[in-house]
Amino acid sequence: MYVCLSNVNIINTIIIMKKIIYLALLSLITGLAVQAQEKTGEWNGCDRYDFTFKDRQAIIVTPKKAAKGKPWIWRPAFFDAFPSVDKALLEKGFHVVYYDVTHLYGSPRAVSLGTEFYKNMTSHYGLSEKVTLEGFSRGGLFAFNWAVQNTDKVACIYVDAPVCDVFSWPGRKNATLWNDLLKEWNLTDAEMEHFKGNPVDNLAPIAAAGIPIISVCGDSDQTVPYKENMDVVRSRYLAAGGPVEVILKKGCDHHPHSLDNPEPVVDFILRQQPEYEKYLHYTIRGNLQNSFRKFEKERRARVAFLGGSITEMNGWRNMIEQQLQQRFPYTQFEWVEAGIGSTGTTPGSFRLQHDILSKGKVDLLFVEAAVNDDTNGFNALEQVRGMEGEVRHALESNPEMDIVMLHFIYDPFIPMIARRQMPDVILNHERVANHYLIPSINLCQEIGERMQDGEFTWDEFGGTHPKPFGHKFYAAAIGHLFDEMWKGVSPEGAITAHKIPAKPLDAYSYYNGDFIDLQKARLNKGWKLVDNWHPDNKAGKRNGFVDVPMLEATHPGDRLTLDFRGKAIGIFCVSGPSAGILEYSVDGAPFKELDTFTQWSHNLYIPWVYMLETELKDTDHKLVLRISKKKNTESQGTECQIRNFVVNR
């Protein structure tokens, strides 16, 4: 893989310098933020300031280094109770703020006091104008009711076992608290029959504003029953077109709140902040309504992931699986995980049928290949033919399938993004996305711009194969695309077929790609079918390309023939340390040479699709394939191992 070290090192140095300057200035600003209050102590190692506002208790905990934009999370009740999310956000530069309206039951007075407090926090302390609301238990009443009156001031809402219906809690059965509620709302018990202050009845304004909600609940809550509260909110919020995620804790009562590992909630909150959203680059095309409705209404769904090693590794894919399960907690998902390291769109288009479509009807498909299509040296024509092969074949197999295209980043793309140049491979894949109205996410541009602005370095991100820290940016961008494209979509609408363009971009694109069984070949000399191929050496092997059947030849002159029908023919092989030079002929044409040894073959049996002929007439053909006497000087031998023949029918 090519790495322009000089450019990458210069960019990393600039990023580090920017970060030092930014953090120094931010530290000064943070110190001034609470100048009107005196420090009263510490909370989790950070300065804590206690004071009163409008005769009610207030607390501000300042981070050691405030994040850009000075984000904050605001609790209206139960400060320091189950604070795992607050502690994690504090470490990430959030201010943790508390204003005690615990016993006001989300009343108009509570909302009014909260608005005055908010204005003080934003004007006097300079905190972000978009706040994250946090409501535990009865705090949910305030969080929702304040958000309804202040939709322009909310980044997102995090509620934990929230009270969403006062008839459920405190309810008339709890006479003391019920009477407190009546007194605070200035209502009689009879007037409660026409009560309009329940969050479950007032979700339309926040749904229209697209405010994201995440909730953590015990499915066995006896105090604030989930089915009477957050489950109703979720159902109605989705119906109103709002984005909502729910993490259900099986067998859990009202306590304990929160999660042992708050990461899913923290990641959700981070991606909803205004400063975070500035770097997102996605293109809305077509719609993703079918998958949304299938997930929510039918509650059985299949989601597939097609790509290379960035998709195969634990990372963004696992995070999206978790996120979809949170968005649709009652849906039984089947995940088709078809990432194979080193493979781009050409192998992807031929293995799509076997690796994905054969598993059953797919409702949502993710495709990515910018990195491998570029590093593997596929030209513009091949990049279009491969990506169109994946997309058109998928849609023709199921016109109701939703597809999302992703563009990842690797070393050579970094200086290009820095000089505002888009890699050609992304432009070529975008041609396909545009032709078929497929939404796409340019993660290459997002990560490049974040690094330029000093948010992190390439090493901190994790490089081509990101660390978990880096994968979170990929997953967050996909989450934003879901929020945007599912906004305003009703679960009750019809599932309809996507319109497939009558003509492909290229008539020779691989949209009828498939495998030909190895046993169809006639092994004339030297070639043999190895049922469980496993080379006895230390070279790397990819999953799916070892301990499987392979056609193998090792000596010059070894020959096979294959009869086939289609417009293109090729081999899906492994190019390892002894990869040889092939000679091939189709329909009696003069033999051509193909050197199968790659720059990675010294220490790896790399999966590789070699297309032998790509613009044949769609009729019967005959392939002759043999090992050449010639040898690459860097190769240890004259071998060939074929996992599949590939054909474009």
Share of the chain above pLDDT 70, in %: 94
Kindly give, in sequence order, each residue whose CB lies less than 8 Å from that of residue 311, ignoring residues fewer than 6 positions away. 305, 317, 337, 338, 339, 366, 368
The one-letter amino acid code at 331 reads: T
Question: Cα–Cα distance between 58 and 60 in angstroms, integer?
Answer: 7
Q: List Cβ neighbours of 613 (8 Å cut-off, separation of 6 or more).
A: 568, 569, 586
CB count within 10 Å of CB 37 equals 16
pLDDT, tens digit, for every residue of 414-429?
Answer: 999 999 999 999 999 9
Q: What is the mean pLDDT of residues 30-50?
A: 76
- Who's near 104: CB < 8 A, 6+ residues apart? 110, 113, 142, 184
- Mean pLDDT across 113-139: 97
Average pLDDT value for the chain: 94
Express each pLDDT in 267-321 by its tens digit.
Answer: 999 999 999 999 999 999 999 999 999 999 999 999 999 999 999 999 999 999 9
Query: Can you tell me the distance from the alpha carbon of 152 to that of 146, in angstroms, rounded to the nearest whole number?
Result: 11
List the helix and strand counts (H, then E) for the chain: 20, 27
Confidence band, pLDDT 50/70/90 cuts, at residue 18? low
**Which tens digits make up the pLDDT trace of 498-542?**
999 999 999 999 999 999 999 999 998 899 999 999 998 999 999
Helical ranges in 437-594 per DSSP H: 443-452, 458-461, 468-486
> 23 with 63: CB under 8 angstroms?
no
Residue 3 has pLDDT above 60, yes or no: no
DSSP alpha helices (H): ranges in 240-344? 263-271, 274-277, 289-293, 309-312, 316-327
Question: Checking DSSP bridges between strand 592-595 and strand 56-61, what pairing results, if any?
Answer: unpaired
- Asked if the model's pLDDT at residue 32 lies above 50, the reply is no
Q: In the prediction, which pLDDT does 29 show?
A: 43
Contact 433, 407 (CB under 8 A): no
Q: What is the mean pLDDT of residues 197-213?
A: 97
Quick one: pLDDT at residue 524?
Answer: 87
Alpha helices by DSSP H, 419-564: 424-435, 443-452, 458-461, 468-486
Amino acid, res. 139: G
pLDDT at 35 over 90: no
Q: Is residue 649 predicted with pLDDT exceeding 90?
A: yes
Q: What is the pTM of this model?
A: 0.91
What pLDDT, on a 0 to 100 scale, did the predictor assign at position 31?
A: 43
pLDDT at 9: 53
Structural domains of the chain, ranges and CATH numbers in brackets: 34-276 (3.40.50.1820), 280-486 (3.40.50.1110), 513-648 (2.60.120.260)
The answer to whether residue 207 scores a pLDDT higher than 50 is: yes
pLDDT digits (tens, 9 = 90+) for 317-373: 999 999 999 999 999 999 999 999 999 999 999 999 999 999 999 999 999 999 999
Confidence at residue 525, expressed as pLDDT on a 0 to 100 scale? 83
Q: How would residue 17 be classed by pLDDT, with cut points 50, 70 and 90?
A: low
CB 121 within 8 A of CB 261: no
Query: What percent of the chain shows pLDDT beyond 90?
Result: 93
The whole-number pLDDT of residue 33 equals: 42
- In tens, the pLDDT along 62-88 reads 999 999 999 999 999 999 999 999 999
Q: Give the pLDDT score at 220.
A: 97
- 256 cis-preceded (ω within 30 degrees of 0): yes
> What residue has token string 């790896």?
604
